[in-house]
Structure 1
């Protein structure tokens, strides 16, 4: 099949050169469009998967940062309040203390668009 297409393209090219025609034949343009379609069919699902993974990893990072804030507060014998996580609540991400009141049993939760991730020794 491949040899047939290559022979056809070569024959068309020779015919165009003999007649002084310039440009691409219809079959050459169709082949290019098919190749671009195949590449798009592969790239789009891959991009969507990468985007979902990046969002999950961003939530994990926010939860871990919240756990660091809570651990620092508990280590300094300071109460953990909603204001403790105020700087972490960006881009629709909401970081809250899910449970626990000591350095060894707290759990911090990061949520965005219905997805959640947790971090801390009590999770």
Structure 2
């Protein structure tokens, strides 16, 4: 019998809305992208309990969540946020580029060769 307050990691990730489906949660775990208290896990049946710290590697983000409670259902986002405390570091300056796309008039079509050369010269791609 399982101890009270414990839950499978794939169910918990699904209830906490880290992923869209439980099968995606299981795939995330078996792919080695989830750690419980700094230990890499490879089975979706591993258990989490309140107080555990999860490190989840998603496509372009690293989430660090502290488990506050096991989930009972996949409810609204507000309910899901009560399951964890977000300990993720703020995104660094390198992760958020400040380079804006060059502005062109709407409907002006593709850039001409001359405009392309000017753009390349501006970006240092001579």
Higher Rg: 1
Higher helix share: 1
TM-score under structure 1 length normalisation: 0.24
So what's the TM-score if we normalise by structure 2?
0.24
